[in-house]
Amino acid sequence: MLPLRYALGNLLARRARTALTVSVIALVVVASTLFSGLVSSLKRTFVTSGNPRNLIVMRKGATNDGSSAVPLEAFQALRFFEGVARGPNGQPLASPELVVQPFFHTPGGGRENVLVRGVEPVALAVHDEVKITQGRMLAPSSGEVILGRGVEGRYVGAQLGQTIRFGHGTWKVVGIFEADRSSLESEVWADVRELGDDAKRSVPYSGVRMRVADGADLDALAHRIGDDSRWALEASRETDYYAKQAESANVFYVIAIGLAVLSGIGAAFGATNTLYAAVQSRRAEIGTLRALGFSRLAILVSFLVESLTIALAGFAVGSLVAALLGRLVSWWLGGIAFGSQTFTTNVVQLRVGAVDLAYGLCLSLAIGLLGGLAPASRAARMRPVEALRKA
């Protein structure tokens, strides 16, 4: 085998060319990991939403809680169904909620639909991923709201202690909450009755979220709710509900994969070119090596090591730039807004995670391998006599 130093030394001997090829691969890695990071961040906001022990109850056929209606009588009966968990004070953990999508105004003069969820205090016990990090929970019937972390600072007055305008009135911001980076962080919570009055809703709730008691069967309870003929309601697992919402990100996956494949092939062509040129200019050297008794395999491996080293260097530079650029974009845009199925704004923090980097690594290794294989095999197939004669 040829020593590793030979391959690396060759790269260093042609610095400009190596640097150019590394940059090309780095750029491809930046573009692809950034995009993959965007899509996976978007996906994660939905996937981490929802508790596996929670049910969401909506009207039959409703695809999201923005287009559903649940009457008061139905809620009153549902909360006492067998299998609904109880809180420490014996109160059923069933949270009646109303979803409204009013306009919020950005400081720049734009407007966005924001999901405002009308809740009762029990909501915090049912959505236990929600943690109030600043201020306190809103008090019922006092015109107070709490904001998700993604909403904070995005709109006029969206700061703790300030008042914010939406719907027909103004609301006091008394708290900020986090929710494991899920889509709940893009929501505003208000008192369910006040919100219903403000939006002039004839039906008080759009859905009910309930915690299922430990030991009780989720699906059995869901079936019992669905089979009740008094109201055409339907219960599904909260995690399934959000997984379905995440499907809206699939379009972006198509784009991300197309982007990676196209730019990856382009970069592989570039790498192939560089290595072909390297093989061509080193004919004499290769001939000498063969004459000295190094096997074809040794030469093939050595050239592959060269191209893989270039690819790895490209990945290292690219992932560093991507991570920095991701931070920069997040800081600059304050999160990237996506429309969700409820036509409300979902604020996503762009983060380039381990999975995205792994994706970039695979891509760059594939570029190195594909780009290096043909030139390396040409070098290996060279007959020593000819190579030396031509030189």
Partner 1 sequence: MKFLPLVWRNLARNPLRTALTAGAIGLAIALVCLLLTMPNGLDVLLERAASNTRIVVHNEAGLVYPLPYAYLQKIRSLPGVVGAASWSWYGGVFEIEKGVTFPNFAVEPEPIGTVWADWGIDAKQLEDFRRYRDGAIVGGATLKRQGWKVGDRITLKGTLYPVDLQFRIVAEIPNDRAPFLLFQREYLDQALRAAGRGGLDTLGIVYVRVDDPARVAPVMAQIDTMFKNSEAQTASETEKSYFSSFFSMLSGFVTIILIVTGLVALCIVFIAANTASMSVRERLGEIAVLKALGFKRRLIFTTLVAEAVILSGLGGALGALASLGLTQLLHARASSWNSSLGPLGSFIVTETILVQGLFLALFVGMISGVVPALGAARRSVAETLREVF
Using alpha carbons, select from 178, 167, 179, 202 the residue that is nearest to residue 69: 202
Nearer to partner 1, 161 or 266 (CB): 266
Rule CB under 8 A: choose which of 17, 86, 224, 351 binds partner 1: 17
Cβ 232 vs Cβ 137: under 8 Å: no
> What string of H, E and C letters represents the secondary structure of 252-280?
HHHHHHHHHHHHHHHHHHHHHHHHHHHHH
- Binding to partner 1, residues 294-323 (CB under 8 A): none
Nearer to partner 1, 5 or 230 (CB): 230
Smallest gap, in angstroms, from Cβ of residue 142 to partner 1?
20
Q: Is 267 one of the binding residues for partner 1 (CB under 8 A)?
A: yes
Q: Which residues contact 285 (CB under 8 A, 6 or more apart)?
A: none
Query: Which among 64-72, 147-155, 208-216, 357-365 is the span making contact with partner 1, rule CB under 8 A?
Result: 64-72
Cβ 267 vs Cβ 25: under 8 Å: yes
- Binding to partner 1, residues 208-247 (CB under 8 A): 232, 234
Smallest gap, in angstroms, from Cβ of residue 19 to partner 1?
9
Smallest gap, in angstroms, from Cβ of residue 16 to partner 1?
7
Nearer to partner 1, 92 or 207 (CB): 207
Rule CB under 8 A: choose which of 216, 224, 252, 298 binds partner 1: 252
Cβ 267 vs Cβ 318: under 8 Å: no
Q: Is 156 one of the binding residues for partner 1 (CB under 8 A)?
A: no
Q: Is 108 one of the binding residues for partner 1 (CB under 8 A)?
A: no
Smallest gap, in angstroms, from Cβ of residue 36 to partner 1?
11
Tell me the CA distances in angstroms from 379 to 8, 287, 301, 376, one per residue in order: 17, 9, 10, 5
Q: Is 72 one of the binding residues for partner 1 (CB under 8 A)?
A: no
What letter would DSSP give residue 233?
E
Site string for partner 1, 319-358 (x = CB under 8 A): ------x---x---x-xxxxx---x-xx-x-x--------
Nearer to partner 1, 199 or 301 (CB): 199
- Binding to partner 1, residues 81-100 (CB under 8 A): 100
Q: How far apart are CA 170 and CA 164, in angstroms?
A: 6
Cβ 291 vs Cβ 359: under 8 Å: no
Cβ 127 vs Cβ 192: under 8 Å: no
